[in-house]
Amino acid sequence: MANNFLTPSVIARAALATLYETCVMAQLVHRDYDEDFAAKVGDTVNVRKPAVFQAKEFDRAVGIEIQNATETGIPVKLNHFADVSFAVTSEDLTLRIEDFGTQLLNPAMEAIAQMIDRDILALRDDITQEVGVTGQFPGNPVGVNMFPHSNPRSAIDARRVLNQRNVPSADRYLVVGPEIEAQWLGDPLFHSAETRGDTDGLREANLGRRVFGHEAYQTQNIYTPPQVTGNSTTEVGVSFHRTAFALVTRPLVLPQGAANAAVASYKGFGLRVVMDYDIDQKQDVVSVDCLYGTKTIDPDRAVLIKGIDKA
């Protein structure tokens, strides 16, 4: 493919497709996007919280009781500005767009997807409800790890908690890390859960079945290696309804003075691509960024699943 096809608009569309396919948490939470919005980092927007109604016994003598269909506005600060910038030499530009995507663009978008998912998962700090335990069985020999919580029954307990709080049964998700996934995949109870018939959407992350009322997914972004924290390796999964958390994205405006730039949006994602030429190094600089904010809408619609703690 000729070099002039590597334009910001082409790169933006390719980057957006990769971002959409790579994110896990971002696809499972409440989304708010406005194509006509133009903001600066730090702006706060109001996100509509779905209205809540109460079913009442109809009395013909009294008539119907009209309830206010008001949607509560929740302020969300757009305080995350994800950026990946890289240089492309003149030699790199001889590659076809498919090679450019595989070698440069896909890894860049995977990094942004990981950042978005981790920022959403950070909202677990707002949740007080939890099931499972962290640690060893009492009386186990020192150094022998036995995990009573790495058991699909935690999903049953999480379902009970959500049911007790009248959380709608549709759009419930369960997200765990690689350690818990490995434990559950070896448990007969997990394999007795209701199987899924389709593999659309997040098929790579999907565990292949419904787990006791949840669509179940695995993401490595839950996992924090000990070399990063300096502590033990800990996983805390989460069971939640889509309306427990929100991801708010807004498109960044095209920079003034940068003629070689483009913005692309698709299904609540917006990306900006700006290209500039560094004549000193004879290379193009490609900068991809997006503006977003995350917010807990209703912490009662989520339950922590205590994960594996390896000393």
The DSSP H or E segment spanning 157 is: helix 153-164
Comparing C-alpha atoms, which of 259, 239, 129, 258 is closest to residue 180? 239
What is the per-residue pLDDT for 193? 62
Quick: pLDDT tens for 30-78.
887 666 665 555 688 887 776 777 788 888 888 888 887 666 678 888 8
The C-alpha atoms of residue 252 and residue 254 are separated, in whole angstroms, by 7
- Tens-place pLDDT, residues 189-204: 776 665 544 333 344 4
Task: Give 238-279 pLDDT, tens digit per residue.
Answer: 999 999 999 988 888 888 777 788 888 877 788 899 988 888
Rounded distance between C-alpha atoms, residue 44 and residue 78, angstroms: 6
Q: How confident is the model at residue 106 (pLDDT cuts 50, 70, 90)?
A: confident
- What are the chain's domains? 3-50+72-122+246-293 (3.30.2400.20), 132-244+299-310 (3.30.2320)
DSSP state letters, 220-256 = GGG-B-HHHHSS-EEEEEEEEEGGGEEEEEEPPPPPT
Q: What is the pTM of this model?
A: 0.78
With contact defined as beta carbons under 8 Å apart, do 223 and 237 qualify? no
Mean pLDDT (whole number) for 174-199: 70
DSSP code for 63: B
Type of residue numbered 206: N
Whether 104 contacts 86, CB under 8 Å: yes
Task: Give pLDDT tens digits for 112-169.
Answer: 999 999 999 999 999 999 987 655 444 444 444 444 446 778 888 899 999 999 898 8
